[in-house]
A = this chain, B = another copy of it.
Amino acid sequence: MTGEVVALPNIQADRLQFIQTEKPRSHPPSKSLVFGHTFTDHMLRIPWSSLEGWGTPEIGPYGPLSLEPSCTVLHYAQTIFEGIKAYRDEHGKVTLFRPDMNMKRMNTSAARVALPTFDSDALLQLIKKLIHIERDWIPREPGHSLYIRPTMIGTQKFIGIAPPSEALLFVICSPVGPYYPDGFKPIALYGTTDYIRAAPGGTGAYKLGVNYAPAVMPQKEAAKLGYTQNLWLHGPEHYLTEVGTMNMFVVLKKGDAFELVTPPLDGMILPGVTRDSVLSLARDHVAGTYKLPNLPDNLIVSERPITMKEVQEAEASGNLVELFGSGTAAIISPVNRIGYLGKDVHIPTGEDGMGTVSRPIWTELVGRQMGSIPSEWSVPVTA
């Protein structure tokens, strides 16, 4: 031992090995697609170990993982993931929407649970190769896409609680239809006061598996009461934080102006890519650098805490304009009702389910995603 520090290999895209499936499957009809049930023919796997760093990336047939019963992810929930959509435009061009944001967030998530970090560009390059191979799986119908799920799990064969000595990064792809195939359908939220999604000093700002399992039971309870999703509240003030697995926005009337409010990234909120996109579009509109058709000019964009009391008061005074969730799956999800402490707060929605502020922003976002509106957020996937 000389004390010399030898850097372990990072992900090396040029070492990719491709093993083509011998059993390609037929693509199901786009109309039959249910989110997250159908997977494509191939997947990407990249192993990591603390002794050897990142190993050889392999794109091979989609199929089961062989995991030791002692491995970390099965006992201590050492798992992180991302969700990215690949779109195919009318000319057959395949694009990803702001994938750099997902790569950056995945590295942040990895560090939070002591999983290995990695070269974002190298992983993105490999994901593009996988999508290119699977490009015929992307449905051609409007609003359809290929949902990309990068995941990293701790695979060390040892049930001590420690940074894992082995990990596996894998990426699977699932063709998906539009979230609202028959037009927007506003959802009802249950203002959840018995359970939390996150707390200060916790993991709410990271895309970790651990944020999801505890939410299933509260969601079931909300569903029993007739609500679609939980509205996660925080603290005795009942600050609004997130909606189900989405970020959230409220629109308030302030005199002649509209205020678009979303809770700040205070460590409890997932830094959503769609959230960031909504804020950027709204701010560019306000600054005049990029105007959105039909979006009101007198718009105030606020990242600030907002309580249920303020939402109730806005309802009472007729100043509650809109409330919606934002996320990769649904893009924008309008809300028409919040069950809160035994009463319902009612929220206006337009005839098409959308509202004054959400409609023009949604139109722009979808245009940029599908490629009908050119933008730097749309990143081409080439061979």
Contact = CB atoms under 8 A, between A and B. Distances in A.
Nearest to A45: B69
A106 interface: no
Contact of A215 (B79, B161, B245): B161
A151 B69 contact: yes
A37 B160 CA distance: 8
A77 interface: yes
Contact of A161 (B158, B195, B212): B212
A170 B75 CA distance: 11
B199 A208 contact: no
Contact of A76 (B69, B113, B200, B212): B212
A74 interface: yes
A69 B43 contact: yes
Contacts of A75: 79, 81, 149, 151, 209, 212
A359 interface: no
Interface stretch (A59-67, A306-314, A367-375): A59-67
From A70, A213, A219, name the one whose CB has the most chain B CB atoms within 10 angstroms.
Answer: A213
Interface string A77-99: 11101000000000000000000
B160 A35 contact: yes
Interface in A122-168: 149, 151, 153-154, 158-163
A203 interface: yes
Contacts of A63: 69
Contact of A78 (B201, B203, B213): B213
Contact of A39 (B43, B70, B199, B201): B70
A147 B75 CA distance: 14
A113 B64 contact: no
A68 B161 CA distance: 25
A316 interface: no
A293 interface: no
Interface in A176-220: 193-196, 199-203, 208-210, 212-217, 219-220
B159 A36 contact: yes
Contacts of A216: 76, 78, 113-114, 161-163
A116 to B, nearest CB: 13
Contacts of A201: 193-196
B70 A67 contact: no
Given A64-B66, A66-B66, A77-B79, A208 B203 contact: no
Contacts of A213: 76-79, 113-114, 154, 208-210
Contacts of A279: none
Interface string A39-74: 100010000000000000000001111111110011
A51 B307 CA distance: 42
Contacts of A378: none
A68 B43 CA distance: 12
A66 B69 contact: no
A112 interface: yes
21 contacts: A36-B70, A62-B69, A63-B69, A64-B66, A66-B66, A70-B149, A76-B212, A77-B208, A77-B213, A113-B214, A161-B212, A161-B216, A161-B245, A162-B216, A163-B220, A196-B199, A196-B201, A196-B202, A199-B202, A209-B213, A210-B213
